[in-house]
Structure 1
Amino acid sequence: MPRDLRSYRPLLHPLWIGALALLVLNDHALKGSGLLPGWATGKLSDFAGLLVAPAVLAALLRLSSRRGFLGAHVATGAVFSAIKLAPEAARAVEALMALTPLPWRITVDPTDLIALPMLVVSYRVLGEAARRPEPARRPIAHRLALMAGSLACAATSSPTGPCDEGTGCDPWEPPPPQEVASLLIGNATETEQLLRVRRLRETARVDCSVMLADPEGALSRDLFENAETWLIAPGRALPLDNAGCDAYLIDADGLPLTLLAWSAEQFPEQFLVTTTDNSLPGRVIALQRDGARLALAEHPAVFDAPPAEPRPPAEACGVSVKGGRLDWTVPVSKAAVLTGIMSSPDGCHALALDRGETFFLCAPAEAIPFSAGDLLHLSPVEIDGGVYPERPENERAFARGIHIESETHAVLVLRGNVLARGSMIGRQPSVDFRAELTPLKGCRGFHDACGSLVEPLEVSLLGDGVSGVVSLRAGEIAELAEGAEALLVVRAEDMPVRNADCFTAPIDQPRLLESVWIAAAAAP
C-alpha cells in the first residue's frame, strides 16, 4: 500500500477548520443558551464532530496510507454507532471518561445516526487534501490545530446558565460511578459502615450445583481468604464480582458473619451504578438497620454463614475419615534387590535397596507382599485416556501410579479417577471387572482439614472373575479370579467443593480414587 498521505494536511483545510469552529461554538455557547432547541444543538455536535474526529484520530496515529485513513473513519463510525444504539456501550464510555478531567454525558439516540454521512464527506474531501502536495510545511499551525481538535473532541459541554422550565436545556450532571460487578452491597444506613469481606480462595474449586443446593453445608470457613476491609459511605455500594460461581463471607460491627453465594448465571457481570438508588432491581443487597444491629436484606444470594466448627462426620464415614493415603517416591533404579523393609506407624514403608537407595511407599501393608532378597522391578505408570466405567462423565481418565514386580508378585499402586487393573500394566489375562460408584450410605460427607467437602463412595465390582457383586468401602479388599488377584480400595470419594492446594490427585479432579491391584507374578 503506497504511503502517499500526510495526515496533518486536513487539519488546515477550510472544511475541517469550519467544522471545528462550529463544534466549539455549539458545545460551549449554543447548548443551554435557549437560542436553539436541545435537539438541534445535539445534532449540530454530531455533524461537526464526525467531520473533526476522524482527521484528529488519523493525525494522532500518524497514519500515512489510504487504508489507514479509511480505518480512522470506520473506527469513528463504529464507536459513534455503538454509543448511540447501545446503552451499555454509552455507559462504558461514560465510565471511562469519568476517570479523566473531562467526563462525558452521552444521550443514547438512534436518530443521531443521521449524521453518519459526514464520514463520507470527511473521507472524500479531507482525504483528497491529505494526498494533495503542500507548498510548505507549517508544523506549528498543524500542532495547534491538532491540540484544538483533540480538546474539542474530548471536552463535553455543560450549560452555564440556569435551566428553568421552557428553556430547552438539560442541566449537566457528572455520570454516576459505575463498575463491572455481579452484585452490590448498598449502605442503606445514615452512617459510614466498615465492612469486612472474605472471598473464596483462588484455589477453591466449586461444583456450583452442589454449593447452591446447600451453601451453609457445602462450604467451610477454611476455604475463604483473609478479610479485606471497606469503608462504605451512606448511599454508596460495594461491588462484588463473580465470573462463574463464587461466595463471600461478610461481617461488620453489629453485623453477624453472613454468607453470600450465587452463580454468574443468576446475576451476570455488567456495569452497575455503585449507589443504592440507581442500580438494577435485584442487584443491590441492602445493609440496613435492624434495631440496634445491622442486617443484610433478604436476597437469593444471602445465607447463614458456615459453622465455625464443621459438623463431625457420621460414624458410617468410617475409614474415609482416618484418611489412609497412597504416596511414593520416584525410584532411581529400574531394578534393584530389596535388602529390608522398615515400617512406620503412619503407614509409610522404607524399602531399602542395594546400592544404598531407599524407596518410600505409603500404602497398606497388603500392598507390599515382598521379602528381603527379592529382585524388584519398579516403573512409573501413567493413565491418560481410555474407557473405564467408574470414570466420571465428561472427565478424561487420568491417573498416576507405580508398578512393582518381583518373581512372586505384581503390584500396581494407582491414584487418580480410575481404579487399578492388571491390564494397565499389560497383564494378560487379567480380571476385566466393571465398577460402579455410589454415595456411601449413612455418610452425608464431611470437611477435611483443608476445608474440602469430602463425600465418600462405595465401590461395587462385578463381571468376569468377580463372585457376584462385591461392595467395597475405603480400607477394604476384594479377591478376584478365585484369589489369583486382589483389589484394595484405599480411598474413594468425590470432592465437589475442594481446596486445590491440598489436593493430592495427579490433576485437580472432583473424584479421587486410590487403589492397589495385587496379583501373583505371571508365569515365565
Structure 2
Amino acid sequence: MFVLAPVTKPAELHPARALLTPTWIGALAVLVANDHWLKGADMIPGALTGKLSDFAGMLVAPVLLAALLRVRSRGALLACHLAVAAVFAGIQLSAGFAAQWSALMGLVGHPWAITCDPTDLIALPFLLLSWKLLVPEMDPSLPTLAPIQRSAVAGLSVFGLWSTVATSDERGIDPSDEWYEDVYGHLYVNNANEFEISLHVRPLRSDVLLDCDQVSSDPGRLLGEDAFGEAEHWSLPGFTNFAIELDESRGCDAAWIAGEGVEPTIVFVDDLALHAPRWWSGQTFDVEELEDGGLGVRFEDGVGGEWIGSDALRFTPKTDAPEQPDSCEIPSGESRLDWPLIVPKRDVRVLGVEAGADGCYELELQEQVTTNSEVTDFGEPYGFYLCAPEAGMPLAEDEALRFEVIYGNSGERELRVTLLDPATLDVAVSESGMPTRQVRYLRGGNDPQFIGPALNRQLVAVPGVSCPWQVEAACATVERHVELAVAGSPSFLQPGVPVSFADPPESGAMVRTAIRSYARERAVLDQSCAEGALQMTYDIDFVVISEPLI
C-alpha cells in the first residue's frame, strides 16, 4: 500500500524585513547622499559619484520592488531582480529605451534627461550582492514585525521609492515644477526654449585618428561629416541639458550636432586634459548662465535655431577648398608602390619583364626548386605585377630572385627581392661576401625614422607648412604634400629620381640607392578608407636598392 505524503508549500519570504537591515538602509543613505550632496560638490572624483548611485541602487531597487509588490516566492523575488537589471541595462544601452523611460517617469512627476552610459553596467554585479546579503533577511522563521517596525517599513518604502525616481540637485525648478537629474560629461547642450526640441549627436568614429595641433587650426573644415559615426538622438524638454562625453584616449576629440531646424555644428576640444568631465546641472533657464562647457540652441520667431555659447569650442562645418599654390601641387613622377598580397613562396626565375602604361610592371615568373643539387622548374609560369618607379625596378629577364614580404602593425608592408645564383638558388654574393643586390620596397611608412635604417641614414620629413590641407573626397582623411631629405644632403629627394649613398670604403661596405615614390603628411587619418599607413602622421612609399661598394 502506498501512503501519500502531505504536500508542503514552500515557506513564504517577507521582503519587507530586508528594508530594516543596516545593509539596505546604508545603501539607501549612500544613494540619497550621493544624488543630493556629493554630485557636483567636488568632494570626491566625478567619475566615482557617477557610479556610486548605480552601485547603491542595485541594492535598494530590487528589494524595494519586491516589498511594494508583496512577493512571497523566490521565483518572484528573482523576477524583481531581473526586472531591475533589464530596465537598468536598457537605459544604458538604448537611447530610445531611455527616452521611453524618461517619459514614464514624467507620468509620476519626475521626468529624466538621461545619459546613456554603457560603462554603468559595471554596477550589475551588485544585484548578486543584494541577493546574497538581503534574501536571508526575508526568512519567515524570524520573529514577526512589531507594529512600530511595520510603520518603519512603510516609511522607508515611501522614502526609498522617492529616492529611486527623484534626481539630484533641486536648483533651477522650472515654472511647471519639473526638475531633471544632473548630467555628466566634458560639455553640455542646453535647449534654450520653452518647448521640446530634437537633436542628434554623432561622435567621431573610433577609426578616425587626429593630429590635434593641426586640426585645431581649422576644425570646421578639416573634420568633414564623413569623420563622424552613427547618431545618438535626444528629445529635450524646455530648458533641459544633456551632456557630451568625449574620448580622452585621443587627447582631443569632436562631435557633430544637428537637429530639425538647427544647422550642424562641430564641437572640438583640442586638449581634453584641460577639459575634464564633470557634473553639470540638468537644467539651465538663462542663456547668460551657460558655463564655459555649455552651448545652447535658441529659436527666434520666424527663424530657425541658432547656436549660442562655447564660441571657443564650437565650429561651423565648411566644405570650401582653399586654392592650392603651384609649389604645393603633387610633384610629377610620384606614384604608390604596390604588389599582390600573395607573393611567390618559392624562388623564381624571371622569364620576362613588361612595363605597363599605369606605372606597373608585369613579371612572368617560373618557380624553381633544388633537387639532387640541380635547379629545376616547379609548376607553370605565371604573372606577378609590381608597381614601382622605373629607377626602382632593376629586375631583369633570366635573373633568379627570392621574394619575402613583411607586414607591420601600422599598415606598413615591405617586399624584399634578393638576387640569387641561378645555378644553386643561393644568395648571390660579391667577392667581399656581401649580397650582390637586394631591393626593399617599403609601402605605407608612418614615420621617416623607421625608413632611415634601411638606407643606413637619417631620413627627414619637411612638411609644407604653407600648403593648405586637402580633404579627400568620400573619405575623412586630410593630408598635404611633404618633402623628404636625407640628413646632410643639400637637396630634397625628388619622386622617381635615384640618389646613392655609399659607406666609407672598407670590407663589407655597401652603396644604397634611395628612390622616393610617395610622401604625404596627415592631419586626419580615416583608417576605414585610407591607403598606405594606418597610423599618424606620415604616409611614405620608398625604395632602397643595396649593392656592394666596388
After TM superposition, is the score higher than 0.5? yes
Aligned to 2:440: 412
Query: Contact between 1:334 and 1:379, CA under 8 Å: does it hold in 2?
Result: no
Contact kept, 8 Å, 1:462 with 1:470, in 2: the verdict is no
Counterpart Cα distance in 2 of 1:443 and 1:371: 40
For the 8 Å contact 1:319–1:475, the answer to whether it is kept is no
Deviations 1:155-175 (A, max 9, x none): 41799xxxxxxxxxxxxx886
Match of 2:487 among 442, 453, 462: 462
Within the candidate set 460, 463, 473, 1:436 is matched to 460
Instruction: Report the Cα offset of residue 514 of structure 1.
Output: 1.5
Q: Which moved more, 1:258-267 or 1:224-233?
A: 224-233
Q: Offset of 1:318 from its aligned partner?
A: 2.8
In 2 relative to 1, CA 82–254 (structure 1 residues): closer, same or farther, beyond 3 Å?
A: closer
CA positional deviation for 1:227: 5.3
2:218 is matched with 214
Distance 1:417 1:410, change over 3 A: same
Give the letter aligned to residue 275 of structure 2. Answer: F
Cα deviation, residue 446, structure 1: 1.5
Q: Secondary structure of the residue that 2:404 maps to in structure 1?
A: strand
Q: CA offsets per residue over residues 221-271 of structure 1, 9 Å max, x none?
A: 332336565443322234322133322333345433322212533433234
Report the Cα distance in structure 1 between the residues aligned to 2:334 and 2:495, rounded to whole angstroms: 9
Q: Where does residue 338 of structure 1 map in the other structure? A: 350
Q: Distance between the aligned counterparts of 1:146 and 1:248, measured in 2?
A: 53
1:237 equivalenced with 2:265 (yes/no): no
Comparing 361-370 and 225-234, the one that deviates more: 225-234
Is residue 156 from structure 1 mapped to residue 167 from structure 2 by the alignment? no
Give the letter for the 1:276 counterpart. Answer: T
Q: 1:167-193 CA distances to partner (integer Å, 9 max, x unpaired)?
A: xxxxxx886233433222212123333
Residues 421 and 501 from structure 1, CA distance in 2 versus in 1: closer, same or farther, beyond 3 angstroms?
closer
Partner SS for 1:156: helix
Aligned counterparts of 2:231 and 2:336: Cα–Cα separation in 1: 33
d(CA) in 1 for partners of 2:151, 2:347: 81
Check conservation: 2:391, 2:497, Cα contact below 8 A.
no
Q: Which position in structure 2 is the counterpart of 1:446?
A: 470
2:255 aligned with 1:248, yes or no? yes
Determine helix, strand or coil for the equivalent of 1:319.
coil
Which shifted more, 278-287 or 498-507? 278-287
Of 274, 278, 288, which aligns to 1:270? 278
Cα distance in 2, alignment partners of residues 367 and 471 from structure 1: 18
Conserved in 2, the CA contact under 8 Å of 1:339 and 1:373? yes
My pick for the range that moved more, 507-516 or 470-479, is 470-479
Change (3 A) 1:438 1:272: same
Superposed, 1:96-111 pairs within 5 Å as none
CA 1:304–1:375: 2 relative to 1, 3 Å: same
Contact 1:313 1:321 in 2 (8 A): no
Q: Distance in 1 between matches of 2:181 and 2:239?
A: 12
Letter in 2 for 1:377: R
1:288-334 C-alpha deviation (Å, 9 max, x unpaired): 13563321113135544332354354332333699722222231324
Deviation at 1:403, TM superposition (A): 0.8
Q: Determine helix, strand or coil for the equivalent of 2:396.
A: coil
- 2:316 aligns with 305
The answer on whether the counterparts of 2:182 and 2:280 sit within 8 Å (CA) in structure 1 is: yes
Q: In structure 2, which of residues 416, 420, 427 is the aligned counterpart of residue 403 of structure 1? A: 416
Aligned to 1:282: 292
Further displaced range: 203-212 or 412-421: 412-421
Alpha-carbon separation, structure 2, partners of 1:375 and 1:382: 24
SS at match of 1:265: helix
Number of paired residues? Answer: 402
228 and 422 in structure 1: CA distance in 2 versus 1, 3 angstrom threshold: closer
C-alpha displacement of 1:474: 4.7
Distance (whole Å) between structure 1 residues aligned to residue 161 and residue 471 of structure 2: 59
- Whether 1:194 and 2:198 are equivalent positions in the alignment is yes
CA distance in 1, matches of 2:244, 2:331: 37
5+ unaligned residues in a row in structure 2: which ranges?
1-10, 41-47, 62-100, 111-132, 163-176, 367-379, 421-435, 504-509
Read off the aligned partner of 2:187 and give its amino acid letter.
L
Q: Quote the RMSD (CA, aligned, Å).
A: 4.8
Q: For residue 325 of structure 1, give the secondary structure of its aligned residue in structure 2.
A: coil
Aligned partners of 1:445 and 1:453 also within 8 Å? yes
Tell me by how many angstroms 1:497 deviates.
Answer: 1.5
After superposition, the C-alpha distances for 1:454-510 in whole angstroms (9 at most, x for unaligned) are 1332222135xxxx4231255544232399532111223321311111244465232
Task: Give 2:400's aligned amino acid.
Answer: L
| Whole-angstrom distance in 2 between the partners of 1:409 and 1:178 | 68
Determine the C-alpha separation between the residues in 2 that align with 1:204 and 1:376. 39
Distance change in 2, residues 1:187/1:103 (3 Å): closer
> What amino acid is the match of 2:266?
L
Structure 1 residues 185 and 322: CA distance shift in structure 2, 3 A: farther
Q: TM-score, normalized by length of structure 1? A: 0.62
Aligned equivalents of 1:295, 1:406: Cα separation in 2:
67
Quick one: distance in 2 between partners of 1:255 and 1:80? 38
The gaps in structure 1 that reach 5 residues or longer are: 1-7, 21-48, 58-72, 105-126, 131-135, 160-172, 385-396, 425-430
C-alpha distance in 2, partners of 1:372/1:147? 98
TM-score (norm 2): 0.59
Q: Secondary structure at the match of 1:328?
A: coil
Contact 2:185/2:243 (CA < 8 Å) preserved in 1? Answer: yes
Out of 123, 137, 141, the residue aligned to residue 138 of structure 1 is: 141
Contact 1:243–1:268 (8 Å) recurs in 2: no
CA distance in 1 between partners of 2:528 and 2:314 (Å): 26
- Please show how residues 116-135 of structure 1 align to structure 2 within 5 Å: none
Partners in 2 of 1:280 and 1:253 — Cα distance? 22
Deviates more, 1:83-92 or 1:187-196: 83-92
